[in-house]
A and B are shown apart, each in its own frame.
Chain A
């Protein structure tokens, strides 16, 4: 038996009749505990209170105190023995989080070994992507390679062509950096028109993690790379697709890392265990997984994934080749397409902004389809070539709204509308769609994906 004065209202619980237990009796029970005499008083108090409230239509158990069951009744997790330590030696998310998973977009690809699993951005907080929810993109399936059997070779325009084991690499001075990785085809389904319902599928080829590894410049230095002639690096994966991408030497020397760790543990197999390239600000395909070889050369390589795939068709029939930088972009992740508001009132509009050219300077938010904008709060840390979390207070009055976010990076570049991109690149470009995303909120509280203008 619990005696409790009702002070707050939860959900649809009806308000309790006030003061149905006298203060004296409450103090008496609190001090001396419950016995039959006091119980009798309490019953009478309830009956009186119920009588008084009868016309108000209060329905409830005579025996129960007023309030929520989860508070008034003991729950099984309070009355039984919990799980022991290390019951799950590798911790897993709560069973209640099962809705948030990497998912494929039906019909997008034809073979699941060369496909995409999108990250559930609608459920993320902060800036770090949990390792198990990092988006997946493989070109010929993934492997879980024995690190003892993995080698990194550096060859080409170097004084000494070298081989490194994982033992070698992990002895070198490591750095840890937080960076976003975005597939060049992220939002690619939306060039022509709205095609997918939620932020998971419009923007879910985006993740942001802390990566640990050795700067590529250190390895190139160790091999004596010819930086005069060697203007390009070819990075090659150890998978069946033998993923190969060209990286300009300037970028390679600046901030590219050869990484073995992600979010404090070794890379996940789906993300290239035991070694991948991290190329900050550059589209994900260049972050070669299962990295086995780096070649220093004097011209771009026109590999399959830079001469057949990952090329951007322009209206004049030309393809742009080696489009790699991920320009400034943002998206509201909640509330977002396919989500449902239950009621009017206060909400936090939140989302992610990022730029392949540096730090995010501002994010502006519109709730009227882009007519008026307000500056959002940027949460720290605001890091170069990492996602930045933004927030804005908002009270929904129940009328239709169109929510949009617009990011500006430190170079002054402003995220464009899809219309502006189409004017230059047409609608068949597939890659590098960094346009402003709009979510339409209807009076029924449901949000949907729309394009404005």
Chain B
């Protein structure tokens, strides 16, 4: 086994491994090519608890203050978290600075024929306006007649500095407590893009 260096090539004849320090291999290439790292931040989490109304959320019935994250319990699997990563309060703390992909889906029921809609989005450090001051939310359940809303899902690419956090925080949820989400059918996941 050897590494050969030519004019513009670094060539290994077996797995090519990168080692900052003497013990870890945070990145290597298998001998048949794929890049592998069990240190790149990634996680997948499931919500726990049953039906939750607006007034079950942190901030109570105040529209625009519905924080999903700590109203549910969470179970998760993750890698590359270091001193950060997923927390029991439903916040994902960035292990490193960079762009992260996040995804959330849940299960939404409108209890009557009113416009019990929800804007679904993430927040950065609890701030709705995480994307250059704007809140790029979608909308679900506006006027859905007493039934389950199609979906509901949201995803994004968010820049986080090390230690900053992302959580699910709808910028608006109609506060009359006539619509609800089922926590145990919810999932929150993400990874460092680069």
**Bound together:** no
